[in-house]
Amino acid sequence: MRVRCTPAMLWTALGISLLAGAVSKTLEFTNPGAPLTRFGSGFYGPLYIVANAIAFYYCRKICSDHRDPSTMHLAWLLMAASCATAIVRHTFEWTIYQMGWPDNPQMFSLVSLRQIPTVLAMVFMTAGLVAMWSSFAAVGLGMRFRWRDAILPLIIVALTAADLAYRQNMWDAQSEYQLMGYLQMLSPVTLALPALLGLVLQRISQEMRGGQFADFLRYLVWSLLLRLASLLTTFSPALRGVRVIAIAGTAAFWAAPWLFALAVMLRWRITESLSVMAELYERDPEEEFAKLVAPPANAKKTIQGR
Amino acid sequence: MGHDISEPEWLEYVSGALPPAKAQRIESHVATCPECAHLLDELANWHDLLTTEGAGLRRALQLPDARMEEFVDRAVERVCAAAHPKFGAGRGRTAAEGLFLMRSLLEPIFGSGTARIAMDLAASRCTIHPEGKLLGGEWPLFVRNLSETLASICGSAAGRLVNRAGTCLVAQGA
């Protein structure tokens, strides 16, 4: 039996991740070292892998709907690559976790190798978003900015700069592989760049003035901002010490990949709707145009078809 | 449509996107031309209806299926009640009517801003009549341009839809 993924399923998964993240962090505060706490902390691995696998599947499908070669084809290909490398990273990290990290200090250097797929995933994501922006810009979208559009990017840059000040506290900074330490120090920057590009996509969604496409872009932007916000709370000792912020940050960190998967799935559903509509226009174009101003019974059929 | 005012200018005027200088020119002309005043009245009615119903539909997307169906029924009924007969099926359409229907098709999916930009871009690559009208004979080229533009950002399914819907809109000259 083939199971069809629906937005409701992904919303549920997002809710579960949010809750699991919050519970896991709460347990860390109340029962540090307890087996349940340990189980909870490791639970995010499988959730991340599944969310990225779903996103990868839809990215590939959307990619195949774009002409090859084209900038948008490249954009989706890069985003699929980002999801694939994220899967590699979390599979590696989760395996190491099951082998006893972080209780076993000998594994600190081994686990630090996760920085390679981590940075690669963010580089792919950034490049994909640049390619996406470039496609929209070619038709004149995302080229006009207002002064107030600069406020949020400035806040992001300031917070990222502040986070860089705490780079010595990062987990992998103590790795015997110096390169891994440097790569992790870069992580606030590699997360801030996609978030900044997300704000450009937000501007594009505003220029679109409504429509399902703008909704997809908004989901994409929120997932990128959520990822950055959760990282900022994780890195900064000042924020990490405040329980409510730490719990909210962890919950956001667990939920972010699901929001991205949801955005990508919504984008694919638009393609599916467009294909159904194209078939209807192929079958009886005159009837379909009549339905734009037709009696309700007929119009209902068309809208349900979409 | 006519009297030195192109279809895109009418549509932009109605949606409030026309630069003030051009808008003033239309207003002065409408004040002295009953034919254009009537046309503007019709276009403004259409725009209001689509805007209201479009906003309502977007809100309705959050509703359960049964409520959604009920809402769509009522929305389409209201639009139909005010529809001008010349947009009905069974006759050839002018390029202006084709543009209007194409826009009605694209806006709920891609947004009014995207639809306007893509249609302007597609029209700019066609031969435009000195009065600024899109000629009926240019319609296939316009549809191809529009299809390519939307396909470049929204994928080949979007391009296919525009192609198939556009080719059925037989324009008979503006």
Tens-place pLDDT, residues A195-236: 889 889 999 999 998 888 999 999 999 998 898 888 878 777
The shortest CB-CB distance from B160 to any of A214, A278, A299 is to A278
Q: The complex's ipTM?
A: 0.81
A-chain CB neighbours of B108 within 8 Å are: 210-212
Q: What pLDDT digit, counting tens, does each position of A98-148 carry?
A: 887 777 777 777 888 888 999 999 999 999 999 999 999 999 898 888 887
Q: Sort A213 into a burial class: Cβ within 10 Å, 0-12 / 13-18 / 19+.
A: buried
Q: What pLDDT digit, counting tens, does each position of B18-62 carry?
A: 888 888 888 888 888 888 888 888 788 777 777 776 676 666 555
- Whether the CA torsion A42, A44, A45, A47 is positive or negative: it is positive
Alpha-carbon span A251 to B60, nearest angstrom: 30
Predicted confidence at residue B76, as pLDDT, reads: 55
Alpha-carbon span A164 to A175, nearest angstrom: 18
State if pTM tops 0.80: no
Residue A71: closest CA among chain B residues belongs to which residue?
A: B152
- With contact defined as beta carbons under 8 Å apart, do A80 and A53 qualify? no
Q: How far is A196 from chain B (nearest CA, A)?
A: 20
CB contact under 8 A, B152 and A138: yes
The shortest CB-CB distance from B114 to any of A211, A289, A296 is to A211
**Architecture in CATH for domain A7-305:** Up-down Bundle (1.20)
The shortest CB-CB distance from A277 to any of B90, B107, B161 is to B161
Predicted confidence at residue B42, as pLDDT, reads: 79
Domain borders along chain B are 1-83, 88-174
The CA distances from residue A114 to A94, A118, A225, B122, in Å, are: 10, 6, 22, 47
- With contact defined as beta carbons under 8 Å apart, do A253 and A47 qualify? no
Exposure of A73 in the CB half-sphere (CA atoms within 13 A): 10
Q: How far is A130 from chain B (nearest CA, A)?
A: 13
Q: What is the mean pLDDT of residues A231-246?
A: 80
Residue to test with chain A: of B59, B102, B168, most A Cβ within 10 A: B168
Q: Of the ranges A148-152, A170-174, A279-283, B143-147, which is most confident?
A: B143-147
Q: How far is A297 from chain B (nearest CA, A)?
A: 7
